[in-house]
Amino acid sequence: MSEPAKKKATYQDLYTIPDNMTGEIINGELIVTPRPSRRHVSAASSLGYKIGPAYQFGEGGGPG
């Protein structure tokens, strides 16, 4: 027997996600994931600041 059809997620469903989570709608399905920790965001930002210029617009000798 087949599964019943799922209700497609709507923009309004995004308002039901807890503050410590983030969500997106992909092909009508609500995808909910935990937010990155502050430590992770800080590390990613610092790394991007350090190596980013070499990869932007073909400047700085990077492969960009």
Tokens of 62: 């990077």
State the pairing for strand pair 21-26/29-34. Answer: antiparallel
Contacts of 62 (CB under 8 A, 6+ apart): 51, 53, 54, 55, 56
Query: CA 32, 37, 43, 46 torsion: positive or negative?
Result: positive
Full-model pTM: 0.58
pLDDT in tens, the chain (64 residues): 677 778 899 999 999 999 999 999 999 999 999 999 999 999 999 998 888 877 776 665 665 4
Distance (Å) of CA 10 to CA 7, 20, 49, 62? 9, 20, 36, 41
